[in-house]
Structure 1
């Protein structure tokens, strides 16, 4: 035998109630069933709202009442096809509505709505729905749950009389029909015979009480979701159904905001070790969630994340609390007396403060109650007036295996800290099945997403990327991300979610991810943007695992890094300006990233996709010291000097470098050595030396006058240098040497210079736009470490940026 409970949404529409019929009839083919139903979706709220209209002598109560009658009539007209059965059902339903109308009219006349009257009013929701479902399902026998669900008055509340109820349930269902139909929620006082109820969500409780009393094989809760989810799917798109939960885990999730089951439901069946299945009326083929005593082969330490919004934190503090017995008793007794529920407690080990979490709507009353309770201590100065903080949310991570897994709390707090989420208060029970903490409400979405992602509750790890710059490098990067997206999902369980793209004039954003196939068209029609607007929007979106990717050469964009890092947004950049600018600002960026637990990566600043900076960092981190760096760092200049020949003059070689995308948009940046100086400064700094650009000794090969005026003037006058370069080239060729523009760090000295390299030097055979770096260290002193490869080009630079992104994804 099994007990099936159907919630309001399961009887709320024609489609759902016909699905209910199909489910029950299918189950009844195999065994006897008891079906418990709630009121039609929204009817309980409507019954209460209408009673308050009547109480206020508002004639609109009749309009609302007639709307409820009409809704039930339409439901019957649609689903009951047998004329005689439909007529009998109309008579039954209309008789109930006549009783209800009389009660409303009484409230309207005498302006009184007692608890007794309101209990009677809300009972009609379940009475009406249950007789309709009983008529719909062939062979179903209707039972009035008030005859066997009994309550008693305790602490000014109606509470279940479990012993009497169990006896009456067994007696009522001694001769069990094949299909029994029971209204949920409603009950009757054992002493007064007045109609009472088991509280909102009480239909679940009714079903659990019956299942426990009759030792059912299973209790099935049919609702409008597939089961318990790992988190709220409205907040976390990647949330999914949990297959199995223990009773304790389900109870913890229910108590902290997961509204799948009414929390008291679990205890009666848990005692009898009766499993609970949570199923979806609208998707009956889904396996749902099963709740039972022990989960076999349970490997996950965390099962789910739940949350309560609208939290207020009240802090009771004072030196008189230290070592004094009974303070907490007074706190909870005073609040309980006023019916104020406390769902979280956090106490300092010094005992001089206790923080309690309550609903925001209860906060003011709770403060007044506690100020009154401790008024004498407050007046004496031994305690402070109650401090309250609103606008908060409580988050709980739940899982029985946490107690068997070391480091869960450390990972929790570390993950939140790296995401810029500050924890205001926290609590962990001795059973270690729940860790609860309080954060500001605006950080709730971020907290839930980053924890869901971090604890492998999500199918995929997600990085949310803001890409700035859609030129050669940025465009190639976006293309590479689009091409690799599906493979990374399948192979690495990683989603690279591009949530923002900015050009020099416009920006587009989408928290769920942008379409990378037509972003250019979308950008053209988007709102104008500035660097400041871009920064503010990224910070405002407050997305977890955010990474800002700079593919520009803009000084204004580089100026945003500090703010972004301060807001726990990692920065990956191909832009050299920040890392080669003022040393103190560079050092501050590095320190900020370290302090905030985020990443500041700029590998492509030197050598495009070559692992030069990473190698220097690895050497230093392992205890080695960089003594000397010799490098050809400009792919552009190397290309130019490899192109120069008797047939290709200097000016033509420069033009080819520009046309093939090796040079900066303004080639003078390359020819002036500025680009190489920046790269050398970056390497020197990463090698542990404090170097400014002004410290670099420059030996340039193009007269300074060529860098004045416009770019057009530069191109016009550049051929004037061809003859001199050709003359020198002939001498070079005769001596079997080649030009290389070499950057050097030797101790504290730095320089850039066009050098003549003979054929025995490692730089001699450097082809095309390749870069090469020789690292002389304390370990690699006799034979310097050599790094060589493509050092320019949009594709390899984009690939280097992509590699930096992946390095963050793999942390």
Structure 2
């Protein structure tokens, strides 16, 4: 066990017990680093900050800042945007795989009583040394590493890791990375960059730990804090993604992909003011060129999707495309703030613009592009198909309600549904969030309540193949899809058209999922090379 002070161990013990997990850095690290002058940019930046069309949120994922070279590249990228006339607020994830390493460190301390932070310490200290960041940045990062080690000491002593302790534990990644990125912006570009934990600009959550929800009552506080930082003080805030505070000041997390949600929450908050919206666009910088027409690992000739509506992007995210977290799109949609997915490794690529249908139509018109029949295809593997049938359904009011009440009571989420006069077919995903509930529900004991009111047939090993399309042409699309799949021997077991009006889903054998993706993609994207190129 690493040596720590008595006071640190007392704090760690209390933290591990979950007694009072107020962020240790809320006081110690709230004092901001002294601002550096921006030289020739200062006057120009003040004018730019008044132009809402030039204010953007730039979010960078862990792979984009995984080491010193990538941090340098990201800082250069932010600086280039400023030179182009933009005023950014920056949101960062933890560096590389730090969040995974923090989770493993917590499990190791809990199960084996071992405290191990060597790899995380090595990564962050090496980055500090390679970038030659100022001493105050190094001090703050080292202090966070000491606090992290003390917390793990406490977990190893009491062999307990509560949800609130785990949230505090995994928050250290973003809290270190925001200081490093801000430090590099200052050191290399003389930019007044300020590292800020999201709770210090007012981001509050509700709904507990691990998958907390943003409290919409905090939007005004966030907007005021950001406007003060960006417009009044001409700062570039570098904000922690993924984390927040609950009403009692305890650290919470927004779930995996939560940094995307942090970025769109800032934009939504900026749009909540009665004044002009604070931000014109959210740029989510990943390690891919935006949304693709299909998973490139499965479909080698997949192409970039230049435009998608909020609804289309949300459906793609829900049914398997992992580029953007589905919950991140709602704040942007409500605030009518476009989201652009860009590649930090290929910054000149236009990426994918996600916006309202009217905005997308306007952009397509400017580029003389027609709306494609099919935007993209994705697959959700390893789902279970449940067929529920009973002659009592025919003309029986409330029968469907009785069926779905069983699912609601057990907390089971349903993916897609298709109904006829005497049957309901639906899919469940045992791997998804709340998957344990689905697994219990699919046990013989769990299914009994359904079997009391209807015949039930359960088929495992299925996949949902979803295509995002112009559903005004759904009859034509479905006919083409069924024809080409039948010709290749792929059987469709279920068809469902989503309530979103942009999604059509098929259920096939899981073993046929990849082949189905390739067949449908070839049908719609390879018949006209010119049409593919025009996208």
Q: Above 0.5 in TM-score?
A: yes
Specify which of 143, 149, 160 is matched with residue 203 of structure 2.
Answer: 149
Partner of 1:451: 520
User: What is the aligned partner in structure 2 of residue 75 from structure 1?
Assistant: 127
Alpha-carbon RMSD across the aligned residues, in angstroms, is 2.6
Question: Aligned residue for 2:101?
Answer: 46
**In structure 1, C-alpha distance between the alignment counterparts of 2:127 and 2:209, rounded to whole Å:** 40
Larger Rg: 1
- Describe the SS at the equivalent of 2:66: coil
Matches within 5 A, 1:586-665: none
Aligned equivalents of 1:19, 1:329: Cα separation in 2: 55
Distance in 2 (CA, whole Å) between partners of 1:172 and 1:396 is 41
Task: Tell me the secondary structure at the aligned position of residue 286 of structure 1.
Answer: coil
Distance 2:450 2:291 in 1: 46
CA distance in 1, matches of 2:513, 2:450: 36
2:248 equivalent to 1:198 = no
**How many residue pairs were aligned?**
450
2:225 to 172, 189, 198: 172
Compute the displacement of 1:284 (Å): 0.5
Kept in 2, the 8 Å contact 1:360–1:390? The answer is no
Q: Distance in 1 between matches of 2:235 and 2:526?
A: 41
State the 1:128 CA deviation.
1.0
Give the drift of 1:308: 1.2
Question: What is the rounded CA distance, in whole Å, between the counterparts of 1:335 and 1:491 in structure 2?
Answer: 44
Deviations 1:675-701 (A, max 9, x none): xxxxxxxxxxxxxxxxxxxxxxxxxxx
Are the counterparts in 2 of residues 54 and 104 from structure 1 also a CA contact under 8 Å? yes
Q: Return the offset for 1:320.
A: 4.2
Query: Equivalences for 1:488-527 in 2 at 5 Å?
Result: none
1:314 has 2:314 as partner: no
2:164 is the alignment partner of 1:101:
no
Gaps of 5+ in 2: 1-54, 187-191, 271-276
1:57 alignment counterpart? 112
State the secondary structure of the residue aligned to 1:205: helix
Greater relative contact order, per chain length (Cα 8 Å cut-off, separation 6+): 2
C-alpha distance 73-398 of structure 1, shift in aligned 2 (>3 A):
same
For the structure 1 residues 387 and 69, does the alpha-carbon distance in structure 2 shift closer, same or farther, using more than 3 Å as the test?
A: farther
Partner residue of 1:287? 350
Work out whether residues 28 and 179 of structure 1, in 8 Å CA contact, stay in contact via their aligned partners in 2: no
Matches of 2:226 and 2:239 in 1, distance apart?
A: 11
Q: For residues 49-93 of structure 1, what are the alpha-carbon distances to aligned partners after superposition, in whole Å with 9 as ceiling and x for unaligned? A: 21111111242x42xx11111111112211x225xx0x3222111
CA apart distance, 1:352? 2.9
Distance of 1:38 and 1:458 partners within structure 2: 40
Report the counterpart of residue 51 of structure 2 in structure 1: none
Q: Which residue of 2 aligns with 1:784?
A: none
Question: Matches of 1:122 and 1:458 in 2, distance apart?
Answer: 48
Corresponding position of 1:125: 173
Q: 1:350 maps to what in 2?
A: 421
1:316 Cα deviation from its structure 2 partner: 3.1
Over 3 Å counting, the alpha-carbon distance change for 1:340 and 1:16 in structure 2 is farther
Deviation at 1:22, TM superposition (A): 1.1
TM-score normalised according to structure 2 size:
0.78
157 and 46 in structure 1: CA distance in 2 versus 1, 3 angstrom threshold: closer
Give the distance between the partners of 2:158 and 2:339, measured in 1 at CA. Answer: 45
Structure 1 residue 173, shift from structure 2 partner: 1.8
Q: 1:432 is matched with which residue: 467, 483, 501?
A: 501
- State the Cα deviation string for residues 64-123 of structure 1 (Å, max 9, x = none): x11111111112211x225xx0x3222111111111112111111111111111111111
Deviation of 1:250 (Å):
1.2
| 1:161 corresponds to | 215
Q: 1:363 Cα deviation (Å)?
A: 6.9
Matching residue of 2:11: none
Q: How many angstroms does 1:406 deviate by?
A: 4.5
Q: Which residue of 2 aligns with 1:395?
A: 465
Contact 1:304-1:457 within 8 A present in 2 as well: no
Give the secondary structure class of the aligned counterpart of 2:340.
strand
Secondary structure, aligned partner of 1:173: helix
Instruction: Please name the residue that 2:40 is paired with.
Output: none
CA–CA separation in structure 1 for the residues paired with 2:65 and 2:355: 27
Deviation at 1:178, TM superposition (A): 3.5
Deviation at 1:409, TM superposition (A): 1.1
Q: TM-score, structure 1 length as denominator?
A: 0.53
- Confirm or deny: 8 A CA contact 2:339 2:353 kept in the other structure: yes
Instruction: State the partner residue of 2:88.
Output: 33
| Secondary structure of 1:182 counterpart | strand
The equivalent residue for 1:18 is 72
Query: Is 1:378–2:451 an aligned residue pair?
Result: yes
Correspondence 1:410 to 2:479: yes
